[in-house]
């Protein structure tokens, strides 16, 4: 158990709908990352938040957005869903690293999204 | 061409064999991760490397920064080692900490 929690575990919805995925980082971790794993694209970085602020964007579609709240949990919002958005969505967290360094990322169990 | 290339894509071996999985990358990095993903989807971080070699139990990871290459070795392999092993890098230069992933190596250890 990495200490990172994600809800829900599974989500089935229809095209055109909007869903929200939730992530709670490990206690004390300030950075949260979102990743998408699809059969054709593999694992891709979507977005990173650090202590409530967006830090970096990867291959995140404009239909997707995220935020990190004051209690450090994060939500990934996916709208106007398409069949191709079906994937595993992982959240990861890492602690703050002094001097601009980098720390290990700990992955949550993932949310499996199926768009029908 | 992917920034992170893994080989082999698929590997089937007998229990007890020494396993090597390779990862090559084309960008400057500040860290390289080896991850394990079992059927059912969860990802476990095995190692994070920026230089040299790390060992944990039967697993050994090495990295050669000059050659932009890393290897993951499994000694005395066991059927429970069957999983997908993924190499991922964090690019150097500050800023984003998001990882770039290889496509993974599907490892099956037969009893």
Complete DSSP assignment for B46-90: EEEESSEEEEETTEEEEEETTTTEEEEEESS--GGG-EEEEEEEE
Residues B105, A85, A44: CA angle, nearest 5 degrees = 40
Please say if the pLDDT value at position B95 is more than 70.
no
Nearest CB to B45 within list A35, A88, A106: A106
Please state the rounded mean pLDDT for residues A32-54.
93
Residue A101 confidence (pLDDT):
62
Residue A110 confidence (pLDDT):
96
pLDDT digits (tens, 9 = 90+) for B9-63: 999 999 999 999 999 999 888 899 999 999 877 899 999 999 999 999 999 999 9
Q: Exposure string (b/e) for A38-60, b if CB count within 10 Å is 16 or more?
A: eeeeebbbbbbbbeeeebbebeb
Residue B34 confidence (pLDDT):
97
Q: Distance between CA A35 and CA A44 in Å, rounded?
A: 5
Q: How many CB pairs under 8 A join A and B?
A: 63
Q: Distance between CA A43 and CA B45 in Å, rounded?
A: 14
User: Could you tell me if B100 lies within 8 Å of chain A, comparing CB atoms?
Assistant: yes
Residue A87 confidence (pLDDT):
96
Please state the rounded mean pLDDT for residues A38-66.
92
Instruction: Tokens 């394990």: give the residue.
Output: B36
R_g of chain A computed on alpha carbons: 14
Q: Distance between CA A81 and CA B4 in Å, rounded?
A: 29
Chain B residues near residue A56 by CB distance under 8 angstroms: 95-98
Please say if the pLDDT value at position A99 is more than 70.
no
Nearest residue to B4 (alpha-carbon basis) of B93, B109, B85: B85
- pLDDT band for position B92 (50/70/90)? confident
Please state the rounded mean pLDDT for residues A5-25.
97
Q: Distance between CA A84 and CA A34 in Å, rounded?
A: 17
Q: How many CB atoms lie within 10 A of CB B9?
A: 10
> 3-state class of A4 per DSSP?
coil
Residue A53 confidence (pLDDT):
93
Give the mean pLDDT of chain A. 92
Residue A98 confidence (pLDDT):
59
Residue B2 confidence (pLDDT):
74
């Amino acid at each position: 158990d990495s200490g990172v929690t994600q809800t829900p575990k599974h989500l089935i919805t229809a095209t055109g709908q909007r869903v929200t995925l939730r992530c709670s980082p490990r206690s004390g971790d300030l950075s949260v990352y979102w990743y998408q794993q699809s059969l054709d694209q593999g694992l891709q970085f979507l977005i990173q938040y650090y202590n409530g602020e967006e830090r970096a964007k990867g291959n995140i579609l404009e239909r997707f957005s995220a935020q990190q709240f004051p209690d450090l949990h994060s939500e990934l919002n996916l709208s106007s869903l398409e069949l191709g958005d079906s994937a595993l969505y992982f959240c990861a967290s890492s602690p703050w690293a002094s001097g601009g360094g980098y720390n290990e990322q700990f992955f949550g169990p993932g949310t499996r999204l199926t768009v029908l | 061409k992917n920034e992170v290339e893994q080989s082999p894509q698929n590997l089937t071996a007998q229990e007890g064999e020494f396993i090597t999985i390779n990862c090559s990358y084309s960008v400057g990095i500040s860290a390289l991760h080896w991850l394990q993903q079992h059927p059912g989807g969860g990802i476990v971080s095995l190692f994070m490397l920026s230089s040299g070699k790390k060992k944990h139990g039967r697993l050994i990871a090495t990295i050669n920064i000059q050659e932009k290459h890393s290897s993951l070795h499994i000694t005395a392999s066991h059927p429970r080692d069957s999983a997908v092993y993924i190499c991922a890098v964090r690019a150097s230069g500050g800023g984003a900490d998001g990882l770039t992933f290889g496509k993974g190596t599907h490892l099956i250890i037969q009893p």
